[in-house]
Structures are given as C-alpha cells and as structure tokens.
Amino acid sequence: MEDLKKFKVLIVDDEENLRDALVFDFKRKGFTVFFAENGDQAFEVVQREKIDFVLSDIRMPAGDGLGLLERIRAADPKVPILVFLTGFTDVTEEDCLKKGALKVLTKPFDRKVLMNIVLDALGVRKNDKVA
C-alpha cells in the first residue's frame, strides 16, 4: 500500500459529527489531515500548508464552501476540491463544477465512494481502493 501520510487532506464542515467522522476515516487510512469548521478557517489552513485535497461543505457560517472554492482556485488552481451539497442549498452541482470543483456529492453520501474519489484524484494505486 502506498504511504498516504505524504498527502495532506483538508476537511471543512460545520457539522461536527460529520467532520469528526471524516477526519477519523482519513487518518485511519493514513492521510495527514487538517480540518476547519468554516471557509474562513479553511483558507487560513490553505495559506499555511500545501494541501493536496479539500473536502468542503457548501453552506457554513463565516465563509461558505463556494467562496472557499473560489479563493483556493485563485491561489492554486491545481488543488483538487470536492464539494458536498445538502438538499437545503440554493447552489447547484453545476454552479460548483463551473467554479472548479472536481466532483460534487450530495449529503448523505457513501464514505467509501468519497474515499475512492480522493484516492483517484491523488493518483493512488488501484489496490489501495476501499471496497
């Protein structure tokens, strides 16, 4: 299995339980994980660290995911960003993709599917996939 510690993943969500679950999943897989509860905090992390992948909710207080997506794209257009959508947002999947999101998942989502999307985006070998 490839050493995933070299990859830095940033998880951004104001829902503490979901954020903690995702942090747990990615740390258990071996990633170096950073987290934030809103877009403003997340952008501070992006400015300090060389982040390889960002997972972000859309609607959060103090900086939403779409604004974060735009700020990250302006700073580094190569960082893969996956955006979560809830059923309660006025933002569409198309809006996110046009602004540069790699992929959009609607909550609730399958965490194994999410992990495999991240592994694909980072070019991790196929045998590291989550079944």
pLDDT in tens, 47-65: 999 999 999 988 888 888 8
What are the backbone dihedrals phi and psi of residue 112, each rounded to the nearest 5 degrees, phi first?
-70, -40
Rounded to two decimals, what is the model's pTM? Answer: 0.89
In a domain, 128, yes or no: no
Identify the CATH number of the domain in which residue 15 sits.
3.40.50.2300
In a domain, 90, yes or no: yes
Task: Supply the range of the domain harboring residue 73.
Answer: 4-122
Q: How many CA atoms lie within 13 A of 51 on its CB side?
A: 29
The pLDDT tens digits for 17-37 are 999 999 999 999 999 999 999
The stretches of 5-123 forming alpha helices (DSSP H) are 16-29, 39-48, 65-75, 93-98, 111-121
Residue 72 token pair: 């990250």
Residues in the chain: 131
Sequence letter at residue 129: K
The pLDDT tens digits for 87-121 are 666 778 888 888 888 888 888 889 899 999 999 99
